Structure 1
Amino acid sequence: MRMSEGVEWGLHCCVMLHWLEDQWPAPTARLAAQFELPPEYLKKRLQTLVRAGILESIPGAQGGYQLARPPDRITLMDVVAAMDGREDAFRCTEIRQRGAGVEANPAELKRPCGISTAMRRAELAWRRELAATTLADVIAETPAPARRRALAFYERLGR
């Protein structure tokens, strides 16, 4: 599966926002600088997360972003679906019914083919894993030195 870079950006920003919860809201410019990302593009990605109810946007000169709910209530699937949509990665177009398949017995084509079945099973496993993993799980697995480095860098950026 190939996901957009917005998924990675969104997840990293969500982790950072959790770490900054006592300093909310976090301005887009500082989040962008934290990861050396283009601010306008990041703003669009963060607004996508706002529309999905993952982040809250606080307007004004002292505004920015904060998590809309606790990290244990945000799954990786929530972020992936917000950024990349909920469409299936594999789309069966029934090419088996073309060419030589035109002559197939209709009874053979009533059930999905083995390829379609296997791809759907794999996608379901992928989606289940993402839905079972929360932002809190990811945060818990992040080494403490990485958190300290990120927060120190963020502080050096100033407001």
Structure 2
Amino acid sequence: MKMSQAVEQSLVVLVMLALQKDDLPVKSYLLSDRLEVSESYLKKTMRKLVVAGIVEAIASKEGGFKLARSIADITLLDVYEAIEGDGSFIHATQLADRIFLNQESNKPVEDVQEALDVAVDDVLSVFNDAEQDFKQRLQRYTIAKLLRHVSAADFEKIDWRQVN
């Protein structure tokens, strides 16, 4: 499984927005500068977070992006699915079926078809179980948990609009 950099970048943006002083919106160019990515690329990522209801886009002179809900209500699964989609990342190609065809009849070799079907089902079952475990773990981990060691006494909120 491969995950895009946009997932990590989204998590960093969410932490930045969570730590934003007075929950003021932060402009996309400030976020893209801090992440060292193009603003157009970041806007595409932010759009996915807005559509998922994780981030709110505020259109005004002082606008930008801010969290749409509490950090206790945003899970890593929310972020992953906003960026990568909520479909399965397991996709069978039926390669084994094509490899074990009788070349003359273009039909599966009878001796191996049943064993092949069982093996393919077993493999897909293992991968599907692993995917469910992965998503369940992401569902249990929130942005609040990510920031659990940051307390008001230890950390003063940042105004990203003023940071150079």
| TM superposition score normalised by structure 1 | 0.83
Q: Which of the residues 128, 135, 139 maps onto 1:131? A: 139
C-alpha deviation, 1:143, in angstroms: 9.3
Deviations 1:45-88 (A, max 9, x none): 11110011000000021110110000111111111111111222
Q: CA deviation at 1:119?
A: 1.2
Q: Secondary structure at the match of 2:31?
A: helix
Q: Return the offset for 1:96.
A: 3.0
Counterpart of 1:103 in structure 2 is: 109
Indicate the residue corresponding to 1:140 in structure 2.
Answer: 148
User: How big is the shift at 1:39?
Assistant: 1.5
Q: Distance in 2 between matches of 1:19 and 1:127?
A: 26
User: Quick one: percent identity of the two aligned structures?
Assistant: 29
C-alpha separation between the residues in 2 aligned to 1:70 and 1:21? 15
Which residue matches 2:104? none
- Which amino acid in the other structure matches residue 141 of structure 2? T
Q: Of 124, 128, 142, which aligns to 1:120?
A: 128
Worse-superposed segment, 12-21 or 50-59: 12-21
Partner in structure 2 of residue 83 of structure 1: 83
Gaps of 5+ in 2: 102-107
Q: Which residue of 1 aligns with 2:57?
A: 57
Q: Which residue of 2 aligns with 1:151?
A: 158
* Aligned 8 A contact 2:76 2:142 in 1: yes
Give 1:140's aligned amino acid.
Answer: R
Structure number, greater radius of gyration: 2
Paired position in structure 2 for 1:16: 16
Residue identity in the other structure for 1:96: A
Matched, 1:35 2:46: no
CA distance in structure 1 between the aligned counterparts of 2:80 and 2:15, rounded to whole angstroms: 15
Q: Which moved more, 1:124-133 or 1:103-112?
A: 103-112
Question: TM-score, normalized by length of structure 2?
Answer: 0.81
Would you tell me which structure has more helix in proportion to its own residues? 1
Q: Which moved more, 1:46-55 or 1:17-26?
A: 17-26
Which one is further off, 62-71 or 28-37?
A: 28-37
Q: How many residues in Structure 1 have an aligned counterpart in Structure 2?
A: 155
Assess if the C-alpha contact under 8 Å between 1:97 and 1:104 holds in 2.
no
Moved over 6 A (4+): none
